[in-house]
């Protein structure tokens, strides 16, 4: 489980911010809290904010960290930069509206419990990037029985001797010989088949990151089939049951393999039809899945990621979860993660949204609601509703009408609106 995600100097976030999934000492919805590794953790975090406030940059920061852990062993090694281009190398983007920040490193860090180990050990992993090089990287661990004593697994800093503990001499020599300025030790260690480093990379791989605000990604994911969907009627039946949780119209699927005209094309294509019940007959009407509503296609695209994280206890991070989905359907997804009976592996859901229907103390705890506000300097700030204080120093009460007070600006993180008189070709001063 993710305990905490920290980052600094990334896009609209100049200063360090922390998305903390540790439960605070508040009493509402105590069933939402999971006891693990001598800590109390939350399974849901909803992130709100105005358009252009930077809330999607929280998603982007986690996505970028995952991308760099996954791909960095491919970076470097070519003076002309061709290899970087071939592997879609992407430089980090610091806060650009401050001269000092432009020249400083960007930092990403996670604290997490590896559900796959089932040991309760906590890991602290992070790195700092500046332009096209890693200037610092660290990995610490803490046993479940230890309170605050973290053990250094490795520590790396530009210009200093590499510190590695508990590794064989050959592993250390191989890392030193192969490491370049763009590459993370965790990423390289996975390539070198060093188990304790591979486990860190696998933790990132166990998470799912979806951008439903991106039409291209929506289109692509709506055409990605669930595992074994083509050959297994059981899997198809599970998808039908999944659809039935919000729409009982789809009764079955028909899958047909398409013939490839090009002999060199060895890839397989499939035609997927959704079978609907007819009003005046026991027969089923066949409709190409691609002609279903955008909401149905989005739910189809969401199914593999939901299934995977709920099966394995990963973290699902979704940007714009509410896009094209009814608020009650979004609430049903949230309740799925909050349910101990369904979410037996303590999977987590982190999502950005504008859906004020979910901004409710009937559904979420105050420490499960996060807000992103952009100040006058263009700097994004991230804070929990449980930590928010008004100008008089008062915290948000448990019994407040949260959505109403949010929309009236009591908690910040809403747009500052002005009349759109420019659309009329005249100004209000002309009247």
Look at residue 261 in the predicted model and tell me its pLDDT: 61
Q: How far from 149 is each of 2, 121, 140, 405, CA to CA, in Å?
A: 19, 12, 10, 42
Tokens 């959505």 belong to residue: 403
Residue 65 backbone dihedrals phi, psi, to 5 degrees: -60, -45
Question: Which DSSP state fits 39?
Answer: E
Query: What is the distance between the alpha carbons of residues 223 and 204, in angstroms, rounded to a whole number?
Result: 24
State which H helix or E strand residue 372 sits in.
strand 369-374
Domain boundaries, the chain: 2-207+314-407, 226-299
Please report, to the nearest 10 degrees, the dihedral formed by the alpha carbons of residues 114, 119, 124, 127 taken in order. Answer: -50
Token pair in block for residue 382: 């991230």
* Dist. CA 188–CA 166, nearest whole Å: 17
pTM of the complete model: 0.93
Q: Are 348 and 21 in contact (CB under 8 A)?
A: yes
Say if domain 2-207+314-407 classifies as CATH 3.30.70. no
Predicted pLDDT at 419: 83
**SS3 label, residue 198:** helix
Please report which helix (H) or strand (E) contains residue 334, including its range: helix 327-338
How many other CB atoms are found less than 10 A from the CB of residue 26? 15
**Residue the block writes with tokens 């998808």:** 239
Element (H, E) at 106: strand 106-113
- Sign, CA torsion 188/194/199/200: negative
Please tell me what DSSP assigns to residue 225. P
Query: What is the DSSP-derived secondary structure letter of residue 368?
Result: G
Three-state secondary-structure class, residue 172: helix
Contact yes or no for 243/250 (Cβ under 8 A): yes
pLDDT digits (tens, 9 = 90+) for 108-130: 999 999 988 888 899 999 999 99
Contact 76, 90 (CB under 8 A): no
Q: How far is CA 78 from CA 75, 83, 102, 132, 306, in A?
A: 9, 6, 25, 13, 39
Query: How high is the pLDDT of residue 421?
Result: 81
pLDDT per residue, tens digit, the chain (431 aa), is 999 999 999 999 999 999 999 999 999 999 999 999 889 999 999 999 999 999 999 999 999 999 999 999 888 655 444 455 545 578 999 999 999 999 999 999 999 999 888 888 999 999 999 988 999 999 999 998 777 789 999 999 999 999 999 999 999 999 999 999 999 999 999 999 999 999 999 999 999 999 988 878 878 888 889 999 999 999 999 999 999 999 999 999 999 988 766 545 555 788 999 999 898 888 999 999 999 998 899 999 999 999 999 999 999 999 999 998 999 999 999 999 999 999 999 999 999 999 999 999 999 999 999 999 999 999 999 999 999 999 999 999 999 999 999 999 999 999 888 888 878 766 555 55
Nearest C-alpha neighbor of 45 from the set 366, 320, 305: 366
User: What is the rounded CA–CA span in Å between residue 428 and residue 418?
Assistant: 11
3 state SS of 281: coil
Rounded Cα distance between 214 and 378, Å, is 24
Contact, 22 vs 40, CB < 8 A?
Answer: yes
Residues 422, 431: Cα–Cα separation, whole Å:
14
Check residue 80 and give its pLDDT: 46
C-beta of residue 44 within 8 angstroms of C-beta of residue 348: yes
CB neighbours of residue 200 within 10 Å: 24
What pLDDT does 83 receive?
52
DSSP-assigned letter for residue 329: H
pLDDT at position 218 is 79
| Per-residue pLDDT tens digits for 238-276 | 999 999 999 999 999 999 988 766 545 555 788 999 999
Asked if 313 contacts 306 with a C-beta cutoff of 8 angstroms, the reply is no
At residue 84, the pLDDT reads 55
- The strands making up 208-211's β-sheet, listed across from edge to edge, are 208-211, 315-319, 348-352, 44-49, 369-374, 380-384
Non-local (6+) Cβ contacts of 234 within 8 A are none
């Amino acid at each position: 489980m993710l305990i905490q995600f920290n980052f600094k100097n990334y896009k609209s976030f100049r200063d360090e911010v922390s998305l903390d999934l540790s439960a605070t000492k508040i009493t509402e919805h105590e069933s939402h809290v999971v006891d693990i590794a001598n800590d109390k953790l939350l399974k849901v975090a909803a992130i709100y904010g105005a358009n252009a406030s930077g809330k999607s940059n929280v998603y982007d920061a986690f996505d970028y960290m995952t991308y760099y852990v996954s791909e960095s062993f491919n970076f470097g090694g070519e003076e002309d930069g061709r290899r970087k281009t071939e592997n879609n190398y992407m430089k980090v983007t610091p806060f650009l509206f401050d001269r000092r920040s432009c020249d400083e490193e960007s930092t990403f860090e996670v604290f997490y419990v590896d559900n796959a180990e089932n040991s309760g050990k906590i890991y602290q992993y992070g790195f700092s990037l500046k332009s096209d090089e890693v200037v610092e990287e660290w990995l610490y661990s803490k046993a479940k029985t230890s309170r605050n004593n973290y053990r250094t697994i490795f520590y790396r800093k530009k210009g200093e001797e590499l510190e590695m503990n508990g590794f064989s001499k050959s592993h250390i020599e191989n890392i030193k010989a192969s490491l370049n300025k763009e590459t993370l030790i965790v990423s390289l260690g996975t390539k070198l088949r060093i188990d304790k480093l591979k486990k860190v990379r696998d933790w990132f791989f166990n998470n799912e990151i979806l951008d439903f605000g991106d039409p291209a990604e929506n289109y692509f994911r709506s055409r990605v089939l669930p595992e074994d969907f083509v050959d297994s009627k059981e899997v198809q039946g599970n998808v039908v049951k999944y659809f039935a949780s919000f729409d009982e119209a789809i009764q079955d699927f028909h899958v047909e393999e398409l013939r490839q005209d090009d002999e060199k094309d060895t890839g397989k294509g499939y035609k997927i039809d959704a079978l609907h019940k007819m009003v005046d007959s026991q027969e089923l009407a066949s409709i190409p899945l691609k002609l279903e509503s955008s909401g149905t296609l989005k739910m189809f695209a969401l199914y593999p990621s939901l299934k995977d994280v709920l099966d394995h206890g990963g973290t699902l991070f979704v940007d714009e979860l509410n896009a094209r989905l009814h608020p009650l359907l979004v609430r049903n997804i949230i309740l799925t993660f909050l349910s101990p009976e369904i979410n037996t592996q303590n999977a987590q859901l982190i999502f950005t949204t504008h859906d004020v229907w979910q901004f409710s103390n009937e559904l979420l705890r105050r420490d499960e609601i996060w807000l992103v506000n952009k100040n006058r300097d263009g700097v994004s700030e991230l804070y929990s509703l449980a930590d928010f204080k008004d100008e008089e120093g008062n915290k948000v009460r448990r019994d407040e009408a949260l959505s109403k007070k949010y929309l009236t600006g009591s908690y910040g993180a809403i747009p500052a609106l002005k009349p759109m008189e420019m659309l009329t070709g005249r100004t209000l001063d002309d009247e």
